[in-house]
Amino acid sequence: MNQLKQIHAHTLRNGTDFTNFLISKLLEIPNIPYAHKLFDLIPQPDIFLSNKLIQAFSTHGPFHTCFTLYTQMCVNGCSPNQHTFTSLFAASAKLKSPPHGVVLHARLVKSGYEFDIYASTALVDMYAKLGLVCFARKAFDKMVIRDVPAWNSLIAGYARNGDMEGAVKLFDIMPVKNVVSWTAMISGYSQNGRYGDSLKLFLEMEKMKNVPPNEVTIASVLPACASLGSLKVGQRIERYARARGYLKNLFVCNALLEMYARCGRIDKALSIFVKIGARRNLCSWNTMIMGLAVHGKSNEALQLFHQMLGEGILPDDVSFVGAILACTHGGMVKKGRALFKSMKKDFSVTPKLEHYGCMVDLYGRAGELLEAYNLIQTMPMKPDSVVWGTLLGACSFHNNVELAEIAAERLYKLEPWNPGNYVILSNIYANTGRWDGVARLRKMMKGSQIIKAAAYSFIEEGSQVYKFIVDDRSHPRSNEIYWILNEVSTKMKEHHDDASILECLG
């Protein structure tokens, strides 16, 4: 940088013109504000230099400057080319500005670059990122030659908008797939809650020797392992990531941290958290605080929360969910109430529905059911089924019929299809000897044709995760499984009988 300043000073003293060279070098550093100042001194900047500066702003921001430079180009009679539009489309996507994008599309067509492969790919990518998938598809279908990035952009667009069926159709027919293609699908499944499909596709990708997963793939599949409780696959992924140096990537570390925390290995999560060290971001702190809270380590979670504050890291809404959850599991009502009040007052964080839900849970577990109900009544937003369900669950634990009936009545309106609410209230009636209430609820369920859904479980075997229900025969080796279960059951019965005989003999 000092050398470039010396060159600039030399040009000013001697009248020599090294402006183009200086701007190019400044953009490589990058020192974009300095480059922009020099650019403004050029009376008639050429298309190459203009495109370089627009590209720099489209990458680093501020993105709106791209359009100021584009307007200056047009005023100065410098016609934009396909590279100009490529950078402008990227800036529009980052600005989340559909109007800019539509106008630029029209200008692209008028300029004669509609069928340029780079500009067309950028156009598809822009529309996909703006959520205008139908526009992206139209632009994609008009392309004479479609490169892999164009396919990937459209697949990611479908996935981002929740249309995984549309993404799958494209993925299956695309002629060449690269690591980005596979990652877009794996990430899409995970982001849309289809964790089993995400993990299944990753395991399929592993078998493709010519497409090794990269850091983004790893960071995308680990949340699926976390949600499915697939610890063994997650551990194998960690070994793979470690061997390739991917743990230098903070996103991978945070995903590993979450996976171990949610799979019950809070010790491993803490070890990774410590190793991240100074690289920790707010996501790292939040994940660790939440993990400790869920595992009942309330004091440790709150200590970490205060350590985070001590290091000058400001908490967000997720931080407070973790901290209040720690108070809930630790039965610390006073501390939880103080944290809740401090959100807006001390940190300018407006409590959301999740925070009110946590407070209802905190009061409910502590037996302060009226306090929980009063909080629901004064919420600034409409309570959802989770909030009322939390209160109903607390009433079940403390056998409070009056508030249970109020909560259940709200839940019948919010989710009339959910049999769980009827079952919980029925159990409360049974526990308090209200058999007339039990009979009435059963009649209501029968009349409304509400049937309790069968519960299911997951089990991990090898590198596969299987889902099954009671008396499930869908597994291809179900006969062998049931034979082993019968053997185990018989041996347990024999052991129980032997123990009973010994007990009788004294």
Give pLDDT, residue 467.
64
Cβ neighbors of 24 (< 8 A, separation 6 or more) are 49, 52
Q: Is residue 16 part of a domain?
A: no
Statement to judge: residues 346 and 374 lie in one domain: no
Statement to judge: residues 345 and 377 lie in one domain: no
Q: Is residue 426 part of a domain?
A: yes
CA-CA distance, 18 to 10, in Å (whole number)? 9
pLDDT band at 125 (very low <50, low <70, confident <90, very high): very high
Q: Is residue 320 part of a domain?
A: yes
User: Residue 209: what are its φ and ψ, rounded to 5°?
Assistant: -65, -25
Question: Of 324, 351, 378, which residue sits at a domain end?
Answer: 351
Whether the CB-CB separation of 336 and 361 falls below 8 Å is answered with no
Q: What is the pLDDT of residues 20-77, one digit of tens each?
A: 777 777 777 778 888 888 888 888 888 999 999 999 999 998 999 999 999 999 988 8
pLDDT band at 16 (very low <50, low <70, confident <90, very high): very low
Statement to judge: residues 347 and 378 lie in one domain: no
Statement to judge: residues 343 and 377 lie in one domain: no
> Which one, of 266, 238, 270, 231, lies nearest residue 252 by Cα?
238
Would the pLDDT of 369 be above 60? yes
Question: Of 408, 425, 454, which residue sits at a domain end?
Answer: 454
**Contacts by residues 380-389 (CB-CB < 8 Å, ≥ 24 positions apart):** 381/353, 381/356, 383/353, 383/356, 383/410, 384/353, 384/414, 385/411, 385/414, 385/415, 385/418, 386/353, 386/357, 387/353, 387/356, 387/357, 387/360, 388/414, 389/421
Statement to judge: residues 384 and 344 lie in one domain: no
Q: Is residue 179 part of a domain?
A: no
Q: What is the pLDDT of residues 141-155, one digit of tens each?
A: 999 999 999 999 999
Q: Is residue 231 part of a domain?
A: no
Q: What is the pLDDT of residues 69-108, one digit of tens each?
A: 999 999 888 999 999 999 999 999 999 989 989 999 999 9
Statement to judge: residues 375 and 444 lie in one domain: yes
Domain that holds residue 337: 282-351
pLDDT band at 489 (very low <50, low <70, confident <90, very high): confident
Statement to judge: residues 446 and 375 lie in one domain: yes
Task: Specify the number of domains making up the chain.
Answer: 2
Amino acid present at 350 = T
Q: What is the pLDDT of residues 434-456, one digit of tens each?
A: 998 888 888 877 766 565 555 55
Q: Is residue 378 part of a domain?
A: yes
Q: Is residue 389 part of a domain?
A: yes
Statement to judge: residues 330 and 384 lie in one domain: no
Q: Is residue 266 part of a domain?
A: no
Statement to judge: residues 395 and 449 lie in one domain: yes
Would the pLDDT of 432 be above 50? yes
CA-CA distance, 270 to 307, in Å (whole number)? 14
CA-CA distance, 308 to 475, in Å (whole number)? 48
Helix (H, G, I), strand (E, B) or coil at 458: strand
Question: Of 412, 437, 454, which residue sits at a domain end?
Answer: 454
Average pLDDT over residues 250-254: 97
